[in-house]
Structure 1
Amino acid sequence: MIDQVELTVVGAINVDLTARVARHPVPGETVGDGVLSRQAGGKGANQAAAAARLGARVRLVGAIGDGPTGAELKSSLKSAGVDTSGMQTVAEPTGTALIVVDEEGENTIVVCPGANAAIDTTRIVVDPGSAVLAQLEVADEVILAAATQTRGFFALNAAPARSLPAELISRVDLFIVNEGEYAQLPEIHNADLLAVSLGADGARLLRHGIEVARARAVKTDVRNTVGAGDAFSAALVLGLLRGDSDAVALQRACAVGAAAVADERSQPLLDELDSYPAA
């Protein structure tokens, strides 16, 4: 375990149905060369699996359906080292993401939330001292229910971007976004701490709008970008939680994100956090 870091992840759990194609179709066009795969996904599950594989103790709060798909995803998360005791089982079908990935590794995604939209906020339990990492594939009410239960470090990967309530913005210690999300969310530009991933240009970290660290991208073979942002988010949060400097935490997060890009899975196989370069 990396310095006994404990993290609660709150977010979506999906099955990813991924079609690999030479290029994305344009509207109204059919592309017939797809190769279909089925794998575990969902931003919450991806970040929980990444954090556990990087060496943290991780508990996931979310929901799955009561059928075999939900049971399969729960088993997969357990095998990654995630504590699944916070996962609810509901009558709605397990969430599904329909993903198209081209030969450059770029993707488009349609999410059908299913069980992720049926999380019972009255059943959410977060340890008062736990650090929390959440995303926006679940409702604001779910995120706020977790936020109000903990005094610990609260990170929000504001993806997919949407307008955020003021009470949530004021509670977040770290926002994590990509360039597109940053442009869509001017209300967080002056946040206490804001990480912006820049793809091939690396990432930057800002405190109250002032850049305090910048990291270079790590060159790699691009296979799939679906889980890269989630791996980056998990690594950055863990690095900051254990006391790494801004620059070291950000650079190591970029290295972990690059490792995720080189893996075809949405929940890539990762090594301990310290195995990734910090400079």
Structure 2
Amino acid sequence: MSAPRITVLGSINMDLVTTTPRLPAPGETILGHGFSTGPGGKGANQAVAAARAGAEVRFLGAVGDDAFAPELRTALVGAGVDADLLRETEGPSGVAVISVDDSGENSIVVVSGANAAMRAPTAADLGAIAAADLLLSQLELPLASVTAGARHARANGTTVILNPSPAAPLPDELLECVDVLVVNETEAAQLGASTLARVPDVVTTLGARGATLRGPGGVELRSEPPAVEVVDTTGAGDAFAGTLAACWHLGREVALARACAAGALATTRAGAASAPTSAEVDAALGRR
């Protein structure tokens, strides 16, 4: 079976990561014990995860004209992602300021930068969406761009997977184009049962408890992840979503199990772009 062709329409950021004994309370200053930078953004993270899971991936997004831009492009290409359509705009690239405590929990502030310039897909972007088997998107880009991409995908028979994060109300014109929603428990609660019921497949991540899938015709699945030692939970949800997309053609049960394993393995290493390879997922599932 040939590798699935996935187009990711999403954000790309430079992550500025501090490590601390615990996360600070509002108004509190504490001393950290580490700092690092690295590529991130939900779109880029999920693109890298899908490529590591074996998919053929093209990325649609934007960077600025700052010093971060070349590093962000190189990171995509180095992970096997086609970045030929990555735009460069005036001004800063997107950044995410992330604090991670010693238990692996995190807090994140995202400044959109160049991502905000992705107001609408270009003709080349639309061509990449139409040529793909699957479109994977999130909500760190302007909603109009995500909606336009999803509508074009639906019109051309491309499966649409949406990770509505950060959570926001979803317009009808977007919802009617979505085949699969990937949400965590908080996002599911914010969207509400009536919204979730309008999508054929809803995958809900449950952290260390794994994930569930509610599909058409009463399909109900649950998968638990392998036991791991958590280092950093940043990017685990993106590893899950990217792997789920890459494995969707293998069937719901297989895709869910592999996504759970990938999400768990991503917590064993620092950084947002921490998704495992397909071989690492194979090994983890073999140990479970």
Shift of residue 138 of structure 1?
0.7
Aligned pairs for 1:251-262 within 5 A? 251-262=257-268
Q: Deviations over 1:49-84 (max 9, x none)?
A: 111111111000010001221111001110000100
Stretch deviating more after TM superposition (107-116 or 136-145): 136-145
Equivalent residue in structure 1 for 2:205, among 192, 197, 206: 197
Is the 2:45–2:273 Cα contact (8 Å) retained in structure 1?
A: yes
Shift of residue 34 of structure 1?
3.5
Q: Aligned partner of 2:273: which letter?
A: Q
Distance of 1:47 and 1:209 partners within structure 2:
28
Percent identity among equivalent residues?
Answer: 39
SS of aligned partner of 2:73: helix
2:145 maps to: 142
TM superposition outliers: structure 1 runs of 4+ over 6 Å: none
2:7 maps to: 8
Q: Aligned partner of 2:61: which letter?
A: G
1:133 maps to: 136
Equivalent residue in structure 2 for 1:188, among 168, 175, 195: 195
Q: Deviations over 1:63-109 (max 9, x none)?
A: 00012211110011100001001211000210000101111111110
Q: Deviations over 1:86-140 (max 9, x none)?
A: 2110002100001011111111100000000011515233342411000011111
Distance of 1:239 and 1:188 partners within structure 2:
25
Q: Deviations over 1:168-207 (max 9, x none)?
A: 0110000000000000001432121000000111100012
Residues 1:277 and 1:122: Cα distance change in structure 2 (over 3 Å): closer
Distance of 1:218 and 1:96 partners within structure 2:
32
1:119 maps to: 118
Distance of 2:224 and 2:81 partners within structure 1:
30
1:213 maps to: 221
Aligned residues: 276
Shift of residue 240 of structure 1?
1.4
Distance of 2:72 and 2:195 partners within structure 1:
33
1:86 maps to: 85
Distance of 1:176 and 1:25 partners within structure 2:
29
TM-score by length of 1: 0.94
Q: Deviations over 1:214-257 (max 9, x none)?
A: 0113211111111100010011122212x33x222111110011
Is the 1:204–1:211 Cα contact (8 Å) retained in structure 2?
A: no
Distance of 1:122 and 1:13 partners within structure 2:
15
Distance of 1:183 and 1:271 partners within structure 2:
31
Equivalent residue in structure 2 for 1:166, among 166, 172, 195: 172
Q: Which has the higher helix share?
A: 2
Distance of 1:208 and 1:25 partners within structure 2:
43
SS of aligned partner of 2:96: strand
TM-score by length of 2: 0.91
Q: Which has the higher strand share?
A: 1
Distance of 2:121 and 2:167 partners within structure 1:
25
Is the 1:21–1:103 Cα contact (8 Å) retained in structure 2?
A: yes
2:248 maps to: 240
Stretch deviating more after TM superposition (146-155 or 194-203): 146-155
Is the 1:95–1:111 Cα contact (8 Å) retained in structure 2?
A: yes
The unaligned stretches of length 5 or more in structure 2 are none
Distance of 1:218 and 1:88 partners within structure 2:
38
Distance of 1:202 and 1:209 partners within structure 2:
22
Distance of 1:46 and 1:134 partners within structure 2:
11
Is the 1:182–1:196 Cα contact (8 Å) retained in structure 2?
A: yes
Question: Is residue 177 of structure 1 aligned with residue 173 of structure 2?
Answer: no
